[in-house]
Amino acid sequence: MAEGSTREINYLRISVTDRCNLRCLYCMPKEGVSFLGHEDILRYEEILRIVAIAVRTGVLKARVTGGEPLARKGIVDFLRRLHEMNGLHDISLTTNGTLLEACAEPLRDAGLKRINISLDSLVAEKYHTITRGGNLDAVMRGIAAAERAGFSPVKINVVAIRGFNDDEILDFARLTLDHRFQVRFIEFMPIGNVSLAEGFTYYPNDEIKKKIETLRPLAAAPPNSLNTNGPARIYRMEGAAGEIGLISAMSHRFCDSCNRLRLTADGHLRTCLLSDDELDLKKVIRNGCSDGDLEAAIRGAISEKHRNTLSDRHEMARKNCARGMSAIGG
Ligand code: SAM
Ligand code: SF4
């Protein structure tokens, strides 16, 4: 660990594609997105090599994301190989759920145990609007398939947007009464091309909590009760099977405790969601580096992360961030 810091940088988010079968209003423009070319995307072998070296530097947990990870060919086999890797203790996947029905079982058989499904509305028309064409039924079938396949917990990520889905907070919370879901409310972040989400504002988690408490008392859940981690504050409604998570990216800052690295689909290592200071690992590996060189490069980036705590630059960085969420992976 670098001098002066107490954080272990042990969590890697891996974006396997910048492409997506949806166009969420707050994440991607409708048209005119320039996607990475085939050659610019890391091959699975290259990702696995980077992850194996990242494990040597202390990475213990990985999350596979996108774009839409299930839209990339060969993803199930990639996850199998990731699970076969020594040293990774916890692997999870974030998906929009639209393609999940058919792959929930194969994913489980590949070793995956934890899954996050993004879902911003339980009303078909609103879901169609926010995703620019998504089919709510397909996601609900995906969630049911994940539950049947035995994923535990199934986490449902809801980006909370004032005036769009704040009227559905209790409906989302009710999902946890009978299901062992963890419904996680994430404050909308106007990141990257902010004009995409003009007029969207986040709905503060403290207000969400108050709203849910009108339904039933909410108590802090015991640590790791449904295998939780990261910046979420976790609660359980009285008598509920599942849990509520609150992720306050806007109203509470958690830069000082951030343990994350991000690998973009084009092989750039990003040590902060909001900072475009990236290390081009694709270039490093395609130049024929040794494992030792690769490890040194990753360790260098981690030391930089220890030196920079972005809390003070948070606002500015968020606005200037060149990559959108779909290109970073959330
Ligand atoms: N396509 C997958 C999905 O939607 O789950 C994985 C990639 S997506 C970029 C990862 C997560 O980032 C999703 O839960 C999405 O809702 C969230 N996200 C995207 N843009 C966001 C924003 N501006 N503020 C907060 N969360 C955002
Ligand atoms: Fe696609 Fe996920 Fe972005 Fe929506 S949030 S456009 S599903 S990458």
Q: Indicate the top mutation candidate among 16, 23, 139 to test ligand 2's pocket, ranked by most ligand atoms within 8 A of CB.
A: 23
> How does residue 249 score in pLDDT terms, banded at 50, 70 and 90?
confident
Q: What percentage of the chain exceeds 70 in pLDDT?
A: 88
The structure tokens 């990261």 sit at 230
Q: Is 159 in the pocket of ligand 1 (CB under 6 A)?
A: yes
Across-strand partners of 95? 117
Q: Of 322, 174, 167, 308, nearest to 238 (Cα)? A: 174
For strands 233-237 and 181-187, give the pairing. Answer: unpaired
The residue ranking higher by pLDDT, 3 or 5, is: 5
Cβ contact 320:275 at 8 Å: no
Examine the pLDDT at 33 and tell me if it is beyond 90: no
Q: Of 44, 51, 50, 126, nearest to 91 (Cα)? A: 51
Examine the pLDDT at 17 and tell me if it is beyond 90: yes
Number of neighbouring beta carbons within 10 Å of residue 86 = 6
Q: Is 192 in the pocket of ligand 1 (CB under 6 A)?
A: no
Q: Which residue has the least CA distance to atom 4 on ligand 2?
A: 24
Whether 224 is in a domain gets the answer yes
Q: Which range marks the domain in which residue 261 is found?
A: 11-328
Cβ contact 171:215 at 8 Å: no
Give residue 329 CA to ligand 2 midpoint distance, Å. 9
For strands 268-270 and 233-237, give the pairing. Answer: unpaired
The residue ranking higher by pLDDT, 172 or 317, is: 172
pLDDT of residue 305: 74
Average confidence score pLDDT of the chain: 89
Give residue 290 CA to ligand 1 midpoint distance, Å. 34
Number of neighbouring beta carbons within 10 Å of residue 304 = 15
Whether 322 is in a domain gets the answer yes
Across-strand partners of 181? 154
Q: Cα separation of 153 and 7, whole Å?
A: 26
User: If you compute the radius of gyration of the chain from its CA atoms, what whole number of angstroms results?
Assistant: 19
Whether 17 is in a domain gets the answer yes
The number of angstroms, rounded, from the C-alpha of 197 to the middle of its chain's C-alpha atoms is 19
Give residue 257 CA to ligand 1 midpoint distance, Å. 21
Atom of ligand 2 at shortest distance to CA of 96? 7
Number of domains the chain contains:
1
Cβ contact 25:198 at 8 Å: no
For residue 126, the SS3 value is helix
- Ramachandran region of residue 326, left (φ > 0), alpha (ψ -120 to 50) or beta? alpha
Q: What mean pLDDT comes out for the span 232-255?
A: 88
The residue ranking higher by pLDDT, 205 or 197, is: 205
**Run of H or E including 272:** none
For residue 184, the SS3 value is strand
Give residue 229 CA to ligand 2 midpoint distance, Å. 22
Whether 6 is in a domain gets the answer no
Residue 157, domain CATH: 3.20.20.70
Number of H helices, E strands in the chain: 11, 12
> How does residue 3 score in pLDDT terms, banded at 50, 70 and 90?
very low
Q: Is 324 in the pocket of ligand 1 (CB under 6 A)?
A: no
pLDDT of residue 1: 46
Whether 2 is in a domain gets the answer no
Whether 4 is in a domain gets the answer no
The number of angstroms, rounded, from the C-alpha of 294 to the middle of its chain's C-alpha atoms is 25
Q: Cα separation of 143 and 158, whole Å?
A: 14
Ligand 2, pocket residues at CB < 6 Å: 20, 22-24, 27-28, 66-68, 96, 118, 325-326
Whether 220 is in a domain gets the answer yes
Give residue 22 CA to ligand 2 midpoint distance, Å. 6
Q: Cα separation of 109 and 150, whole Å?
A: 11
**Run of H or E including 253:** none
Q: Is 17 in the pocket of ligand 1 (CB under 6 A)?
A: no
Examine the pLDDT at 219 and tell me if it is beyond 70: yes
The structure tokens 């050659």 sit at 39
The structure tokens 């948070």 sit at 314
Q: What percentage of the chain exceeds 90 in pLDDT?
A: 69
Phi and psi, residue 34, nearest 5°: -100, 110
Q: Which amino acid is at 210?
A: K
Q: How does DSSP assign 290-310, residue by residue?
A: -HHHHHHHHHHHHHHHHH--G
Cβ contact 72:66 at 8 Å: yes
The string of pLDDT tens digits covering residues 45-91 is 999 999 999 999 999 999 999 999 999 999 999 999 999 999 999 99
Whether 199 is in a domain gets the answer yes
Q: What mean pLDDT comes out for the span 253-277?
A: 87
Q: Cα separation of 112 and 75, whole Å?
A: 12
Examine the pLDDT at 142 and tell me if it is beyond 80: yes
The string of pLDDT tens digits covering residues 157-194 is 999 999 999 999 999 999 999 999 999 999 888 776 65
pLDDT of residue 327: 75
